[in-house]
Amino acid sequence: MRFTRNKVAEPEINLIPFIDVLLVVLIFLMLSTTYSKITELELKLPSANSAPLREKINALNISITADGKYFVQGVPVATVDNESLVRRLREASQGIDNPVVVISADAHATHQTVIQALQAAQQSGLQQITFATQIDTSSKSNGASEK
């Protein structure tokens, strides 16, 4: 009599066909995928269609020209650095009760000049800030814009 047990063959997983299939899928994905790099974003900023506001007595106007010069209440700021702008804003806001800063920037003024004006207003203790816009003349009477 034989008392030896039959050895059960352990199952083998052959990885070579699995790897081959994965490589084929990877090559297919690499060839069919298009990679595009967005180099430029086209932004169209909105324009305001509201009625023009009356000049407020407590408005503190900051005008920024296209070449980066600042005017506070129509008076040019001598230098373009932040300290002189803060000093000029503090001087101009002394006689105004609860002033509202109105920033009027040229359409071609850099973003940095507007940010510098915002920082100067914050550093001088002015909390109410708004931006002046021009009325959009290209809109129809129902408010939709022409294309």
The amino acid at residue 25 is V
Q: Are 101 and 124 in contact (CB under 8 A)?
A: no
Q: Which long-range contacts (CB under 8 A, 24 or more apart) does 138-144 make?
A: 139/47, 139/49, 143/49
Task: Count CB-CB contacts under 10 A for residue 89.
Answer: 26
Residues 96 and 107: their CA atoms lie apart, in Å, by 28
DSSP state of 54: P
More confident residue, 72 or 95: 72
Residue-wise pLDDT tens digits, 1-46? 666 777 777 788 888 999 999 999 999 998 888 776 655 545 455 5
Residue-wise pLDDT tens digits, 97-118? 888 898 888 888 888 988 999 9
CATH number of 59-131: 3.30.420.270
Closest CA to 116 of 135, 89, 96, 137: 89
Strand runs (DSSP E) across 1-147, as ranges? 59-64, 70-72, 75-76, 100-105, 128-131
**Domain chopping of the chain, boundaries:** 59-131
Q: Are 129 and 103 in contact (CB under 8 A)?
A: yes
